[in-house]
């Protein structure tokens, strides 16, 4: 099988699985318990927290463990909105955010908050000038993703963060689920106050992740409970999952995203030679994502045709793909309905090789004429 859907989820690394199994057996006790097995589990969690913080260049107490990107995004956005509602009730975000950000903001609108959704340009990039123009005296939070999960477009997070320094009452949240470990981001230089990360995008496990929360920044908890994770995220900690997350992040230091880019750019170059391909991913993009259309052939039809060749790709975000709706991101980029309906996304990982890339192109060359012929026969 050629697996090109790594933006949806990655295959867990074998050593990550090994860490999870061993930690789950040895450190099964509740980390909140006072007895020694519980204290051992707590120490395991704190060691993982310190390791992640050191690799990121932040303090350990700025790392809050969660169940993944969706929870981290909701905790950041709804938590800030609730805690700072006395300061203002306006949020600035973009039209191209992941559903866990976009829908969280929609929920807040139902609760009396106002949200400005900044539109990207035709390359899928938002302009810092448009972000600044959207800020009002009521603004308490700006939330902009680092890397778009569909097109791979890298947003000008550092530039946005710098301009927000002129607005000390406005916090800055970055969804870095697709960018973490693939596109460098200096949290200090970018002035990031909150940052979301998910383990299963990093060859870790589903149900693991964290929220970076800068010192001095407050969020109201989403859950009521025992006050774990420094009172921010109640619930018995997943000690084995947290240990496996730290292992996955340590392994990132041994991988080179530019090796992935070489494969992605090879595929891009091959696609550009085919007149029936329209590429939506800009040159300023993450190394692992390539989004394109084959006009006239529906994306889901091509996905299933490739699957018969044991090549796994996707259409839109995995969180939206079963809703049978056209891509909100492509619509915001003014991509035509025909092109949006025929769009597919490939997303690579460090485990992909050049042989797979050539097989993918060969498969397209075989499949597309057949599907085009069938379409013409129907019309």
Catalytic residues: 319
Instruction: Record the tokens describing residue 212, joined without a space.
Output: 């970076």
CA distance 2 to 262: 17
Q: Is 309 exposed, middle or buried (0-12, 13-18, 19+ CB in 10 A)?
A: middle
Backbone angles phi, psi at 162, to 5 degrees: -65, -40
What is the bridge-based pairing of β-strands 194-198 and 209-213?
Answer: antiparallel
CA distance 2 to 58: 37
Query: Is 20 in contact with 243 (CB distance < 8 Å)?
Result: yes
Instruction: Let me know the angle formed at the C-alpha of 32 by 27 and 35, rounded to the nearest 5 degrees.
Output: 70
Of all helices (H) and strands (E), which one includes residue 1? none
Q: Is 308 exposed, middle or buried (0-12, 13-18, 19+ CB in 10 A)?
A: exposed
30: β partners:
none
Exposure string for 347-361, b = 16+ CB within 10 A, e = fewer: bbbbebeeebbeebb
Task: Name the maximum alpha-carbon separation found in the chain.
Answer: 72
Residue with tokens 């006239």: 296
CA distances from 202 to 165, 228, 337 (A): 31, 25, 32
């Amino acid at each position: 099988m050629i697996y090109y859907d790594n933006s949806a989820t990655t295959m867990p690394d074998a050593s990550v699985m090994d860490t999870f199994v061993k930690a789950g057996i040895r450190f099964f006790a509740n980390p909140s318990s006072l007895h020694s097995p519980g204290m051992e589990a707590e120490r395991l969690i704190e060691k993982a927290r310190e390791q992640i913080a050191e690799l990121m260049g932040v303090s350990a107490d700025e790392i809050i463990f969660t169940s993944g990107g969706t929870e981290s995004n909701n905790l950041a956005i709804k938590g800030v909105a609730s805690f700072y509602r006395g300061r203002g009730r306006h949020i600035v975000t973009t039209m191209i955010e992941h559903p866990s950000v976009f829908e969280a903001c929609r929920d807040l609108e139902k609760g009396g908050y106002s949200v400005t959704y900044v539109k990207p340009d035709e390359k899928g990039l938002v302009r810092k000038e448009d972000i600044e123009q959207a800020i009002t005296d009521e603004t308490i939070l700006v939330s902009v993703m680092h890397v778009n999960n569909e097109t791979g477009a890298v947003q000008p997070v550092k530039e946005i963060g710098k301009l927000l320094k002129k607005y000390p009452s406005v916090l800055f949240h970055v969804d870095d689920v697709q960018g973490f470990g693939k596109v460098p981001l200096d949290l200090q230089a970018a002035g990031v106050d909150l940052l979301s990360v998910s383990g299963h995008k990093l060859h870790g496990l589903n149900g693991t992740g964290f929220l970076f929360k800068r010192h001095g920044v407050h969020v109201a908890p989403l859950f009521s409970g025992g006050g774990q994770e420094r009172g921010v995220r109640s619930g018995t900690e997943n000690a084995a999952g947290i240990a496996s997350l730290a292992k996955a992040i340590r392994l990132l230091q041994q991988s080179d995203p530019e090796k992935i880019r070489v494969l992605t750019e090879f595929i891009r170059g091959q696609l550009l030679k085919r007149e029936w391909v329209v590429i939506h991913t800009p040159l300023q993009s993450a190394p692992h994502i390539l989004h394109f259309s084959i006009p006239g052939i529906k994306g889901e039809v091509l996905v299933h045709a490739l699957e018969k060749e044991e090549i796994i790709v996707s259409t839109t975000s995995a969180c939206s793909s079963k809703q049978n709706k056209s891509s909100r991101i492509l619509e915001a980029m003014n991509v035509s309905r025909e092109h949006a309906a025929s769009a597919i996304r490939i997303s690579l990982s460090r485990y992909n090789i050049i042989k797979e890339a050539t097989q993918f192109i060969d498969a397209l060359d075989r499949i597309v004429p057949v599907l085009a012929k069938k379409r013409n026969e129907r019309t």
